[in-house]
Structures are given as structure tokens and as C-alpha cells.
Structure 1
Amino acid sequence: MAQPDLQFLGVAPRDEELYRFLLRTGGAEPDELNGPAGHEDGSAGTARDTEAACRRLTGLGLAVESMNGVLRPVPPAKAVERLVELRVKQLQDELEETVGRTGIVDSLLAERESGAQRGAALAERGGAPIRHLEGLEEVRAAIDELTFFTRTESLTTYPRGTLSPQGIANSRAMDLRILRRGVRMRTLMGSGALDDPTTLAYLRELVAKGAEIRISHQPLERMIICDRAAALTPIDPAHTAKGAILTREPGLVAALVSLFERMWDTAQELPVGEDGTDAEDGLPTEIERKILKSLYTADKDESGARDLGISVRTYRKHVAVLMQRLDATNRFQAALLARERGWL
């Protein structure tokens, strides 16, 4: 029976050969990969070949480089799990790009906007600046459509501050999809969030993925603003289930953005400690631990961010904060100081 390979998970035969070599030996120094493991025919590879191979193995999550320069294999189960995650993310990115390029959503919307409604709907989307949405179902459909096409920035407020478990379950996929695309997400929560463990846990999950979240102790106006081009506000703020107003009128949207910025400026950063206190002097969060570990294995910010499933901007922001907390002058020193403190 033929030996199964990793090509279906995106691993080239050459890289798989090196990974299997590391599994057999338990680890190797880079120059050892120039020998029999260098090429299938036993010939030696160049130093540049070896350096590139090491980067590929660590980038794929098949190996990690220890502080003394030894390349060690990641356990097979963990390595394959990571490869699956990378392939799924790659496929999802490719599909989302294809969806955007082909305009399939517009094509399907055109089918829905048939008959007498089609002309009015197309006019609304193309030129009518204000649209009234009746009921929760219509509002949710509009939110799904707006967020799907959001590419640069999402601004949202939650005056009550608390999110139900069902609401979180409904929002998680959409929120994470927005963050995965590198969209800047800023969310203002009412102070009730501080007293609700379920809401706090979800907000911290979003922050770990790159969201910016603040808590306001002042009254908030409910709104959702996408790309500073479209905004949703409730028809009746006291009874949001009645529906919403969708506006694309530039002046109104600009006014709502200005209102959001004023509310944002007076709000406080989301506490990150498990007890609701600032954790700056405490232990690092889970995402911070992962970033500290990546400082050993990732040769570039782009690869580190990709491995963690966050944007490069978010990755660099976390690195800068960690270096400041550790009083480190460079990233390698930050990793060493983190290990000395028992963070890793």
C-alpha cells in the first residue's frame, strides 16, 4: 500500500520529506539538512535552499526553531490540524474573493427584486438615499447585506451593553468574517457589559481577533455604520423591533459618523483582565501568548499574523504593546523576557 502524503494539505513533497526526516531524528540543525536529507538523491543543498526550507517548515507549522537553532518537528496531530486550518482559511479567502469578483450576490438579489418591486429596489440601491425597513427580519437581512460588502470600517453601538447567548451565536460568524478580511471594527458598548460575564467573554474574544471595543458610561445612540457610506438607525429607539432606517445620504451618514466619534472619544477601553480590571501588569492574554511564541517562529509580521488568523495591523499593535509592557528594545528580547517571567 502506497504511503499517504501531505500534498492534499498544500505541502510540497520536498517539505514533507524534510518534516519526516525531522520526525525520525527528533530534530536537526539547519546545516544537517544539507546532507542526506538535502535532496532525494542524497546531494547537498545550498545554504540558501536550507534557509528557505526552514522558513517553509516553520511557516506551515510543521517545525519550530529552538533558541539554540535546532529545528524540531511539531507533533503530527498538531501539525496536521494546523495544515487543515490553513487550507480551510485559504479556501475561504479564495471563495470570498471569487464571490466579490463575480457579483453573484448582486445577481441573486436581482432575482429577488423581480416584477414591480425590482425597479423600485434598484432605484433605492442606486440612488434613493433613505429606506425604511419594517420588522426585525428585514433589518437583519439589511445588516447581513451591508456587512458582507463592508471592506474598510465597521462602526457599531450597543446602548444596553449586554448580548444574549443567542445574539452572540448569531453574530459570531459575521463578526469574525469581518475581522478576518482586515476590516477595522470599532464597537461601543453600554456600561451594562461590565456586569455581564457572557458579554465580556465574547467582547474579549473579538478584541483578541483585532476588534477595538470601548465601554461608555454615557447614553448611546443605536447605530451601525459601514464604510462611512451607509448607516442603520432604529425607527423607534425605545422599540428597536419595529424596524430601522437605512440611509446612504452622505450628509446624514457624515453626521452619524461625527456623533459616533464623539461618543468614542469619551468612552473607556474594554478591561481585559478576567476580573474586569486592566491586565497590563498581570499575565498576558491568550492571543498575547500566541504572539510571543510566534516571535520565535515567524520570520515576518505577515506570516505571524497569518498563522494566528489576525490582520497584520492587529499583530503589530499587540507586539508594540507587549514590547512596552516588557520594556524590551527588540522583539527577540521581548520573547526572552516573556520566557523569564514565566509567560511562555
Structure 2
Amino acid sequence: MNRDEEAGYRRLLRRGAGAGDDDEDVLSARLTTLGLATRTPSGVLHPVAPARAVEGLIENQLARLREQLEQAVQNDGIVDSLLKEREAATIRTVTADAPAVQQIVGMEAVRAVIDELTFFTRTENLTTNPTGLLTPESVAFSRPLDFRVLRRGVRMRTLMASPALDDPTTLGYLRELSAMGAEIRISYQPLERMIICDRTAALTPMDSADTSKGALLTREPGLVSTLVALFERMWGAAKQLPAPDSALPSEIERKILQTLYTADKDESGARDLGISVRTYRKHVAVLMTRLGATNRFQAAVLAREHGWL
């Protein structure tokens, strides 16, 4: 937040709410983009509570810092060099007649392996959940890992059993993932539990009836390709995650519409929101279709006319 934005927010706090002057339209739009103000369908600008406003600024700054650090790591080639080290170790292990499948005992060890696999994932992440249910604890564990993968632009495809649609915790988290760019499908047929990363490593449970016992990790190409083929069959038989009942845009969609006023490039808009450029463009395309807009400027105008901003 620069000095002009801070001054504008303080003025808004002092007067409480207002329609805004024509010469302040750009500043008002910036305040809403920053999460410092909201605008009603009638055009009245309201200040966000200071505590919430500061919290939002901190979260945005942390998101930008995280993206900068991840980009720096990518530019320096650190991950690629570490992958080469691991590949060399894998070759030595295979030549030493090591088992094609490694047993990972206990949930703590399994979570550590999942953390490592997702950290090194560069192109695609495939997961299934045969129960369709996520506890608040599992969501808390998964959120930073999943968001880290999605921010890098990795394609994430997740298959959930149908009970997910009736569980608020699970459905809410699936909506979060979808807003970040994940592809979610709901299966009404039995699923096999698995996690596959970059089609080179796969994790399956030791005992499908009791996943707390541990998991089996394989990097053997033949086994992994078989699991990928199974995933694709289950994916093809599943249905898209139903859209929210409300016709109003989601929070992330509102923010994207606001960036159409303020961001000169897709990269800038995506960076401001802490999402990948691919996800940003996907949302813009969907919003333009919903609004019947032929270009982005028209989409922003129509969104305001619909009371979405």
C-alpha cells in the first residue's frame, strides 16, 4: 500500500461510507483490490474494518514474498539440481537390487513422503479419495502443500467419492482448490486410493481398509504407468464438481474482476492475487463467458452493472 492508498483509506474511515468522487474512481478501485474497501451494488464505498484490512495486506505481502522466493529457487535451478541428485541415487538403488516398492510405515512417515513428493512435483499431481471426506485436520495439512503446487502452475486433478458433496468441510475445501485452478471430479463408483506425481512416483495404501498403517511408494515405471491408466479410467467415469448454486461470483472471481481495472498484464493480476497466470486466465475466460463479454474491459464494465463489484 502506497501513501496515496493509505491516505484514501484513512479518508474513507473518517467519513464512514460514500459514493466516491469521479476523480477518485481509480483510487477507489485500488482500495477494493487491496481489500481495504468494498462497494455495494448501488455504488457506495465502505471501508473494511482496520484489523481485517491489515490482516489482508499482510497475507497479500506474504503471498507475493512466497512467490518471489519460489521464483528465485526456480531461476537458480536448485530444484533441478536436487532432482538430479535423487535420480542418481535412484539409479544406484535399482542397480543394487532394491525392491521396486518401498514400505512407508505410520502416518507421520507417510505425510513426510507426501510433503517431499509434492515439493518436487513440476508438471502434474493426481490424487483420489475413496471416502470423499476430509477432516479439518487433514485439510489443515493439505492446504499449504496443495496451494504450493497450484501456485507453481502444476496441473492438479483430484477425484473424490460422492459423500464429498454432502460434507461442508470437504466441499468448502474443494471449492478453494477449484478457485486456485485445480480440476475436481466426483465419482459415484468405487475408487482406489492413490497419489501420483509427475507420472514418475506413486503412493498407495498398505491396507485400503486402514490407511493409518502406512503406504507403498513406487518409482518403478511399469507400476506407475499402470496406476496412471487406472486413474484415467476412474477420471473418465467421474462427473465435474457442481458449480455453486449462487449466480454471484466467488471471492476470488470478484478480485479477478477488480484487477481488470488495475492490472495492465495477466502476470501482474495473477501476482497480486497469489495465483498462477494459467489459473488467472482460466478464471477470466469463464467470467467473460458468464457475462457475455467480448473483451476484458467490457467484462469489467458488465460486472459493475450486474452489481458484482
CA contact (8 A) 1:161 1:191 kept: yes
Q: Which has the larger radius of gyration?
A: 1
Aligned to 1:181: 152
Further displaced range: 331-340 or 76-85:
76-85
TM-score by length of 2: 0.76
TM-score by length of 1: 0.69
CA contact (8 A) 1:232 1:245 kept: yes
3-state SS of the aligned residue for 1:317?
helix
Question: In 1, Cα distance between the equivalents of 2:96 and 2:269?
Answer: 41
Q: Which amino acid in 2 is paired with 1:212?
A: E
**Greater RCO, CA 8 A, separation 6+:** 2
CA apart distance, 1:177: 1.5
Q: Among 161, 166, 186, which residue is 1:215 paired with? A: 186
Instruction: Please list, as runs of the form range in 1=range in 2, the aligned pairs for 1:55-94 lying within 5 A after superposition.
Output: 84-94=58-68
Aligned to 1:67: none
Q: Flag the 1:126–1:29 CA change in 2: closer, same or farther, 3 A.
A: farther
3-state SS of the aligned residue for 2:216?
strand
Question: In 2, Cα distance between the equivalents of 1:93 and 1:155?
Answer: 23
Question: In 2, Cα distance between the equivalents of 1:130 and 1:302?
Answer: 41
Unpaired segments ≥5 residues, structure 2: 12-19, 38-46
The percentage of counterpart residues that share the same residue type is: 61
Aligned to 1:159: 130
Question: In 2, Cα distance between the equivalents of 1:164 and 1:248?
Answer: 29
Aligned to 1:333: 298
Aligned to 1:123: 93
Aligned to 2:258: 293
Further displaced range: 320-329 or 187-196:
320-329
What do the CA deviations read for 1:74-96 (whole angstroms, capped 9, x no partner)?
A: 99968876664454234323444
Aligned to 2:210: 239
What do the CA deviations read for 1:13-40 (whole angstroms, capped 9, x no partner)?
A: xx75x6678789998969xxxxxxxxxx
Q: Which amino acid in 1 is paired with 2:277?
A: V
Residue 192 (structure 1) aligned with residue 192 (structure 2): no
CA apart distance, 1:217: 0.5
Aligned to 2:174: 203
Q: Which amino acid in 2 is paired with 1:242?
A: K
Q: Flag the 1:24–1:213 CA change in 2: closer, same or farther, 3 A.
A: closer
Question: In 2, Cα distance between the equivalents of 1:321 and 1:95?
Answer: 30
Question: In 2, Cα distance between the equivalents of 1:301 and 1:145?
Answer: 31
Further displaced range: 127-136 or 166-175:
127-136
Q: How large is the RMSD of aligned CA atoms in angstroms?
A: 3.9
Instruction: Please list, as runs of the form range in 1=range in 2, the aligned pairs for 1:13-24 lying within 5 A after superposition.
Output: 16=3
CA contact (8 A) 2:101 2:217 kept: yes
Aligned to 2:270: 305
* Equivalences, count: 282
Unpaired segments ≥5 residues, structure 1: 1-10, 31-53, 65-73, 111-118
CA apart distance, 1:327: 1.4
CA apart distance, 1:330: 1.3
Aligned to 1:43: none
CA apart distance, 1:230: 0.6
CA apart distance, 1:272: 3.0
Residue 322 (structure 1) aligned with residue 287 (structure 2): yes
